[in-house]
Each structure stands twice: as C-alpha cells, then as structure tokens.
Amino acid sequence: MDGEFAMDDPTQLLEAASDFAHYPGVQTDASARDFLNRFPLPVIMNALQTRSDVPGLENALVSCLERLFKTKFGASLIPEYMPFVQVGLQADSQVVRSLSCKTVTYLLENLDNETGVAAHLIEDSNIYPLLLDCLVNGNEQVAAAAMDAIKKLAASPEGIEIIFPSAKEGAIDLGLLASQSSSLGRVRVMALVVKLFSVSRSAASIIYRLNLLSLLEAEIRNAQDTLVTLSVLELLYELAEVEHGTELLSKTSLLQLLTSTISNNSMESILRSRAMMISGRLLSKEIIYSLIDESYVKGVISAIDGRLASLESSDRDECETAIEALGHIGSSFRGATLLLSGSPNAARHVIEAAFDRQGPQGHGIQLAALHALANISGETRSENNLILNADAEESLRCLIYAVASRSSKLTPSGLFLSVLQQDSEIRLAVYRMIVGLVARPWCLMEICSKQEIINTVTDPSTETIKIGMEARHNCCKAIHRSLMLSSKLYTDPAVAGIAAKLQEAVGRGPYLVRKHVEAQPVVVTADRF
C-alpha cells in the first residue's frame, strides 16, 4: 500500500494499527517489518500530525508505535526519525508527548551497547531540554515517561555529561528550574534528582556537589503545604533506601530536619509519622553509625520516645509508626544498644506494647511491637552481632521480667505463650521474637519451662500458610540450636524430652507432610438391568 492511499483513506491504517497494538502475543521483528512494509513510518508520522481529527486514530497509532519501537527492528529506525521525536516532545497532545518520551527510552535501550551513540543523537537533537519540559509541564503519564527517559540517559557517562555538563555554559540548572516551576513542577524536579541520585555513586556525588539535595531541605524546612512536604518526605524515604546514599545523606542537614519534624507538635501527624519512619530506615544501617555523631541518634530516639509518651489512646496510627521506627533502629547492633540505654529507655514502649493485648483496635500496635522486639533482640542480625553489651542485655531482661510481673501471667514464659495463642499474624511475629530472644540463657530457660510453648512450635499443624510454616520451623531450629549450645540444659534429664521433640520437628521440615496412606481396594457391585 502506498503512502498516498493510506493518507487519503485512514480507515485501513486505523484498523491495521489497532490490530497490531492489541495483538495478544509478542510482536517480533518480522511482524514489525511486515507492518512497516505496508505502512511506512513517514505515513504513520504524517497521519499522527495531520489526522488527529479522525476518531480513535491518534490513540491507535500511538499504541501501535509503542509496540513497534519495543522491537529491535523498530527501535533501530528511531535514529533516522529524531526530528519527529523532537516535534512529538513539543506536541499539544499529551499521548503523543508520552510516546515521544518513551521513544527516547527505546532508543537508549536499543543502542546501549554502542558507546555514546544514543547520547550523541539526543544531544545533537537537543532532546534533553524538551524532556525536562515534559517532566515539569506534562500530565502524570508524560512526566513519568520523561523521568524514565532521563534516568535511562543518566546510566551512561555520556548521558551524565548531558545532564550535568562539566563545562557550565549552556547547562540547565535543576535548582533554578525547580524555583521557576509550580509546586507540582518542583516536586517532579526533586523526584528526578532522587532518581538520578539512585542511578550510580558518581551521579549521587555530582548531585551532592551541586547541592541539589538542598531542594528537599528547603521544602521540609518551609512545610507550608502539607501535600508537598509529604511528597518530599516520600522522596527522602526513597533516598534512605539507596545503597550508596547513606554516606552522602549523613553530610546534609536532612537528618537534623527529620528530628525537628518528629518533635514539632504543630506538624501534621502524617508528617511526623513519615519523618519517624525515614529516620528509622536510615538508622537501621550499621554504616551510618560510623558517619554521624552518636548524639544525633540519641536525639532521634529521644524525639520518638517523647512522641510515644505524649500520644493519646486515639493516636493509634502514629503510635504504631513510632514503634515500627524504633524496630528499624533496633535492627542494627548500635541502634539496639542505644534503645536499651539511658533512663528511661525507649525500648520500654516496644516491650510494653508487645504484650499488651488491647483488643481489635490495639492489634496493629501489638503486631508492630512484636516485630520491633524481634529486631531489637537480633532476629535480623548475624550471630556475631546478636548479643548486645552487658548493660543493654541486662536492660532487655529486666524490662521483659518487669512487664511479666505486672501482668496476670507473672513470668516471661506466660507472656510468650499468651501471644502464641493469638491469631496467625501475631504468631508470625512471636516466632521471629523467640528466634532473637532464645539465644539468651534466661529466655531459653523460660521457653523450656513451658511445655505448651514447645508443643505449639513443634506442631506442624499449627500453621496453614507457607510463611507461617517457615517461621514456626525457624523458631524450632533457633530453640534447638540454643539448647545444644547450653551444656547445662542439654544434659538435664528433665529437658531430654524437649530436646528430642525439637530435634524431630527440625528434621521433619517446615511443612505438614501427610502420613503415607496405603491404597485400599474398592469393590463395586455390577450394575443389573
């Protein structure tokens, strides 16, 4: 079919594009080549620019081109049509702009083995500024596609040079762009900074050197728009998860701003909650304790402790988040040590909530507290870092015994059994808690003193879902391992039955195995008519 006929009568093009776009299987290079033999790219591009008035044609062509450019053959044609990409990035149609942003990504993915070719094409066609305009001014889909393209561009040294040129002349200052944009545009620019920060250590170093993280600091410090501040805190949460980001973040004032946010009673509860969670995530990493002053960590813990002490019974969501944040801090050796130090220490909130059954409304708090106690006791740490220093260990033991003495159960073993008898979600957290705590001789004694605890954790029918079965089995293994390492208990005749039961449960594995059933003959009487 020649191009003129296709342009005069777009019906066949519309039908063919729709069929290609919605084909249920994977489109291959062969199918892409066949389609383009019938409808050459110039015909499609021309129709996209001039026949937007035909109902359904624009969406069909956009979807069709997306699938075409995802194939190796289709993507190999993109370099010849960079002027069309350039025009598409400036189109009034949002779907066309989105397609053009995605086309840049397909170009980068297709030419990623040819050093600098795609980046040079993008630079020569002045594509990067247009992508930034799409990011700031496009709709949600366009902005997301533009961000993906820029992040892909940043994956190569040539791409980084386009985004952050060493020669400042002609460079686009992201900080200036943010200051000139709407609140939504500012958030998008900051989101781009975070995405680029996560691409590589070298990109993160450039961002730190250019002081672009100060954009986030300024927004958190101002906190005039709750939604914007919350969005920035979410971005900071992403930064906290970046493997190479901890060192650079520790050099900024963002950590101090988080502490101030937690302590600020005039802040919205949701902002304080996010600040607590981000701080907890950061302080769950052992490396950060070698990068920051211990007084900062104590300040964070004190701020969270203060919030917990002042919260009303109705503030359950914030209370749950605060306890979860303490659990994250406690997953690190140094964090757990600091949580159990001082007077009063913040870990008391966790331990009290772990064994305080407050009915359905308190379920989330108790669940968070049990998981937090599991972290503090070392369930997530290596065996070398499981046991804390003598003072912290004594504090942990005394807190649990004190909570037990004030309860109707009187002993830690009674507390452990009471939470093991609750629902499956709670039991899962209890298994984790026991795995951490049972390495302590006093806890091992408490576990072995309650036959009902042993019966529960060794019974394969206690759990019915995979994660619960595996957690129960891990709990068995931890108790059995601690028992074998305790020469005093392992040789005690009174404990011999418990040891044998644990060993059998460990050997059986985590899953409930049906006993072998012999086939039974079945005799059926003949039908008679």
Which pLDDT belongs to residue 442?
Answer: 92
Q: Which two tokens stand for residue 188?
A: 């998008």
pLDDT (tens digit per residue) in 159-197? 898 998 875 655 678 888 888 888 899 999 999 999 999
CB 438 within 8 A of CB 412: no
Asked if the model's pLDDT at residue 512 lies above 70, the reply is no
User: Phi and psi at residue 171, in whole multiples of 5°?
Assistant: -70, 150
Q: How confident is the model at residue 487 (pLDDT cuts 50, 70, 90)?
A: low
Nearest in space to 19 (alpha carbons), one of 1, 37, 31: 31
Helix (H) or strand (E) holding 62: helix 57-70
Which pLDDT belongs to residue 276?
Answer: 92
CB 202 within 8 A of CB 193: no
CA distance 159 to 155: 7
Number of Cβ within 10 Å of residue 348's Cβ equals 19
CB 222 within 8 A of CB 266: no
**DSSP H helical segments within 90-244, as ranges?**
94-110, 117-124, 127-137, 140-153, 157-163, 174-179, 183-199, 201-209, 214-222, 226-241
- Between residues 252 and 89, the one the model is more confident about: 89
Which pLDDT belongs to residue 510?
Answer: 82
CA distance 143 to 139: 6
Q: Which residue has the tokens 């594995």?
A: 509
Nearest in space to 21 (alpha carbons), one of 68, 53, 81: 68
CA distance 456 to 231: 45
Which pLDDT belongs to residue 527?
Answer: 55
CB 207 within 8 A of CB 213: yes
Nearby residues of 381 by Cβ (< 8 Å), 6 or more positions away: 331, 332, 333
Nearby residues of 130 by Cβ (< 8 Å), 6 or more positions away: 86, 89, 90
Residue range 479-500: average pLDDT?
77
CA distance 73 to 69: 8
Which pLDDT belongs to residue 219?
Answer: 85
Helix axes 10-21, 57-70, angle to 10 degrees: 50
Nearest in space to 51 (alpha carbons), one of 13, 85, 23: 13
Cis upstream peptide for 412 (omega within 30°): no
CA distance 155 to 228: 28
Nearest in space to 477 (alpha carbons), one of 449, 455, 507, 452: 507
CA torsion angle 276 277 280 282 (round to 10):
-110
CB 46 within 8 A of CB 7: yes
- Measured CA distances, 240 to 63, 194, 206, 381, 492 (Å): 36, 10, 18, 19, 49
Of 48-52, 132-136, 287-291, which gets the smallest average pLDDT? 48-52
- Measured CA distances, 90 to 68, 78, 104, 146, 192 (Å): 21, 17, 14, 12, 20
Which pLDDT belongs to residue 517?
Answer: 45
CA distance 238 to 519: 57
pLDDT (tens digit per residue) in 301-325? 999 998 888 877 668 888 899 999 9
Number of Cβ within 10 Å of residue 87's Cβ equals 16
Cis upstream peptide for 344 (omega within 30°): yes
CB 311 within 8 A of CB 263: no
Number of Cβ within 10 Å of residue 527's Cβ equals 5
Asked if the model's pLDDT at residue 496 lies above 80, the reply is no
CA distance 447 to 481: 13
CB 233 within 8 A of CB 278: yes
Residue range 524-528: average pLDDT?
55
Q: How confident is the model at residue 1 (pLDDT cuts 50, 70, 90)?
A: very low
pLDDT (tens digit per residue) in 424-446? 899 999 999 999 999 999 999 89
CA torsion angle 182 188 194 195 (round to 10):
-160
Residue range 475-484: average pLDDT?
89
pLDDT (tens digit per residue) in 185-232? 999 999 999 999 998 888 898 998 888 988 888 888 887 788 888 898
CA-based diameter of the chain, in Å? 100
**Concatenated DSSP letters for 180-209?**
TS-HHHHHHHHHHHHHHHHH-HHHHHHHHH
Nearby residues of 429 by Cβ (< 8 Å), 6 or more positions away: 367, 370, 371, 374
CB 321 within 8 A of CB 277: yes
Helix (H) or strand (E) holding 434: helix 424-437
CA distance 112 to 356: 57
Helix axes 117-124, 127-137, angle to 10 degrees: 80
CA distance 363 to 369: 10
CB 364 within 8 A of CB 320: yes
Residue range 261-282: average pLDDT?
89
Which pLDDT belongs to residue 49?
Answer: 80
Asked if the model's pLDDT at residue 287 lies above 90, the reply is no
